[in-house]
Structure 1
Amino acid sequence: MCTGKCSRFVGLTLIPLSLLCILANALLLVPDGKTSWTDSRLSLQVWLLGGFVGGGLMVLCPGISAVRAGGKGCCGAGCCGNRCRMLRSVFCSAFGLLGAIYCLSVSAAGLRVGPKCLINGQWDYHFQDTSGSYLSNRTLWDACEAPPRVVSWNVTLFSLLLVVACLETVLCGVQLVNAALGVLCGDCRKKEGDQS
């Protein structure tokens, strides 16, 4: 596959994935769809904004860069083989890879530790000592009195962030290699070339 076409495909895949991360992180900030729980009652992993910063903004940059790298060369079709944009995409992809790994780490920690919730009048990380075993025991989930349904809310959204961050990690890695090949070899399209 042509490095330009591959860049465009990867970029067009990374952009919606990064927006999905931003949305998932925004939803984590409002358990049960209400903002009344945001006053120091959310877990640290929610406040680390792994989906917003890491999987979102830090991956949006390489997504846009990859789409641009898949377009015409900076001096016209074929003259420099699009090497300038591919070089920029190498750096952006490395940046995005770091962001995706950050999102992956925060999401995995969020699943392992569990949410901060109210049980027997005490706000705490009640599932922290289970090392993630609470995930398979749904009867424990009902022990949280507030916020309502916070465990299923966090598990669903952190799981979504984990899966998306894994995809972003793979795609940013692919684009890193693809863009490096594009810098070394140029774009395979002809001078009359198509822009797709």
Structure 2
Amino acid sequence: MCCSVGVARALGLALLPLALCCMLANLLLLFPMGESSYLQDRQLSSYIWYFGGLGGGGLMMLVPVATFTSLGKCSCCWNESLMMCGSVLAAVVGMFGSGYCFVLSGMTLMQGPHCFTALGWRYPFSNDGGRYLLEPDSWSQCLQPVSIVEWNVSLLCILLCLAVLEFLLCLLQLGVGLVNAVCRPCCYKQEYSLHA
């Protein structure tokens, strides 16, 4: 049990910087090249307003972070088993949050940026199925914000990678928590019957 508690705490500590980086990346998406005027005029990609990194990969991830790092505070065997069950639920919350972040980041990437072109404000790459990602020469269609394609692609790729890492860490704790939640009561019963 001590080993699994140690693993959970390590996973919680590993998730914390990932969650903070997700929140930071999402906030940077709101301020292309550090400018706030596009946020005020709501001239940003529509999916950015769903806050995949801030809410899903960030704030929701604080639930497993808090749960995993608080494991092992009680020495009672049955409380430890209940805490492992709680860690399973927290892992599911974390997997949902990271999945939300991944899906929204992918959709935003496929849609492309909302930018000012020769034809006005529009989504110039929304109908090309993401092919613009492999055609950097076409990025010059976006005149404003300056370098918005590079800005969005970089931050969204970071969010995708962070979401995958968060999902894998939560999945690992889900497995560890399930094994301990199921096996620990059985071990406790066997120990009790041996001492009786």
In the superposition, the TM-score normalised over structure 2's length comes to 0.88
Match of 1:124 in 2: 122
After TM superposition, give the deviation of residue 13 of structure 1 in Å.
0.8
Q: Which of the residues 155, 167, 170 maps onto 2:168?
A: 170
Q: Percent identity?
A: 39
Task: Report the secondary structure of 2:60's partner residue.
Answer: helix
After TM superposition, give the deviation of residue 81 of structure 1 in Å.
6.5
Task: Report the secondary structure of 2:15's partner residue.
Answer: helix
Q: Which one-letter code corresponds to 1:171 in the other structure?
A: L
After TM superposition, give the deviation of residue 121 of structure 1 in Å.
4.2
Match of 2:27 in 1: 26
Report if aligned partners of 1:21, 1:56 keep a CA contact under 8 Å in 2. yes
Match of 2:14 in 1: 13
Task: Report the secondary structure of 2:161's partner residue.
Answer: helix
Task: Report the secondary structure of 2:121's partner residue.
Answer: strand
Report if aligned partners of 1:4, 1:182 keep a CA contact under 8 Å in 2. no
Give me the whole-angstrom Cα distance separating, in 2, the residues matched to 1:28 and 1:138. 20
Task: Report the secondary structure of 1:123's partner residue.
Answer: strand
Give me the whole-angstrom Cα distance separating, in 2, the residues matched to 1:5 and 1:29. 37
After TM superposition, give the deviation of residue 83 of structure 1 in Å.
1.5
Report if aligned partners of 2:124, 2:141 keep a CA contact under 8 Å in 1. no
Task: Report the secondary structure of 2:141's partner residue.
Answer: coil
Q: Which of the residues 155, 158, 164 maps onto 1:157?
A: 155
Report if aligned partners of 1:81, 1:186 keep a CA contact under 8 Å in 2. no
Q: Which one-letter code corresponds to 2:128 in the other structure?
A: T
Match of 1:194 in 2: none
Alignment of 1:29-48 (within 5 A): 29-38=30-39, 39-48=41-50
After TM superposition, give the deviation of residue 96 of structure 1 in Å.
1.0
Q: Which protein is richer in helix relative to its size?
A: 2
Q: Which has the higher contact order (CA 8 A, sep 6+)?
A: 1
Q: Which of the residues 47, 54, 57 maps onto 2:56?
A: 54
Report if aligned partners of 1:43, 1:116 keep a CA contact under 8 Å in 2. yes
Q: Determine which structure has more spread, i.e. the larger CA radius of gyration.
A: 2
- Unpaired runs of 5+ residues, structure 1, are 189-196
Q: CA RMSD in A?
A: 1.8
Give me the whole-angstrom Cα distance separating, in 2, the residues matched to 1:121 and 1:134. 18
Task: Report the secondary structure of 2:78's partner residue.
Answer: coil
- The more displaced of 82-91 and 110-119 is 82-91
In the superposition, the TM-score normalised over structure 1's length comes to 0.88
After TM superposition, give the deviation of residue 80 of structure 1 in Å.
3.2
- Unpaired runs of 5+ residues, structure 2, are 188-196
Deviations 1:115-140 (A, max 9, x none): 10010141111101111111111111
